Chains A and B, each alone.
Chain A
Amino acid sequence: EAGVAQSPRYKIIEKRQSVAFWCNPISGHATLYWYQQILGQGPKLLIQFQNNGVVDDSQLPKDRFSAERLKGVDSTLKIQPAKLEDSAVYLCASSLNSRGSPLHFGNGTRLTVT
């Protein structure tokens, strides 16, 4: 089966600019996650979708971050405006359901904010 696809792989922007990341999960996976991984740290959950509904966005900085999964398949994560501390790898993952199913991760988008 095809894995989780993410684009772009790399992005360099200046602070205060905006950026968007795209994720295509594994076909049939109802749950989609966006994680932020700062260098040297474990992934931190930003938002979790079940189909096209938000299950958990308690750790999403909503003043600058937004995400959507309009048709319950692809998802986009946006940052506007970006700050230096947003430099990180943004990982998308999907799973069959939200009750303990293993997560399948994409290779991430490495964002550098200068």
Chain B
Amino acid sequence: TQLLEQSPQFLSIQEGENLTVYCNSSSVFSSLQWYRQEPGEGPVLLVTVVTGGEVKKLKRLTFQFGDARKDSSLHITAAQPGDTGLYLCAGVETSGSRLTFGEGTQLTVNP
């Protein structure tokens, strides 16, 4: 059983469209991070959320942490081809210290 479930697994959209990626779990997290990974490179941190209900914005990206700190979402407005990549959520359980990654959402934005 995967600790962090990401959906959808694959997403292919046209430039200018909006999209939302979800990261869900039955566990409670002390913090949750979102990373983006491009082919041939390591993941790069986008944001860290730590407070239930927290919303953070990074240009066209909006990140939300669920009130119960069990889930998170990433919304991209007016997607661009440069947004293409593998989006990974990763969380630290309140009961531990290990950072566990989800399986990722592969996003392709077509021009």
- A interface residue numbers (CB < 8 A to B): 4, 33, 35, 40-45, 48, 55-56, 91, 93, 98-100, 102-108
Contact = CB atoms under 8 A, between A and B. Distances in A.
The winner among A33, A56, A93, A102 for most chain B CB atoms within 10 A is A102
A33 B51 CA distance: 25
Interface size class of B (residues with CB under 8 A): 20 to 34
B31 A45 contact: no
B55 interface: no
A100 B30 contact: yes
Q: Label chain B's interface by main secondary structure.
A: strand
Contacts of B100: 45
B42 A45 contact: no
A104 B104 CA distance: 18
Contacts of A103: 33, 43, 45, 99
Interface in B2-28: 4, 6
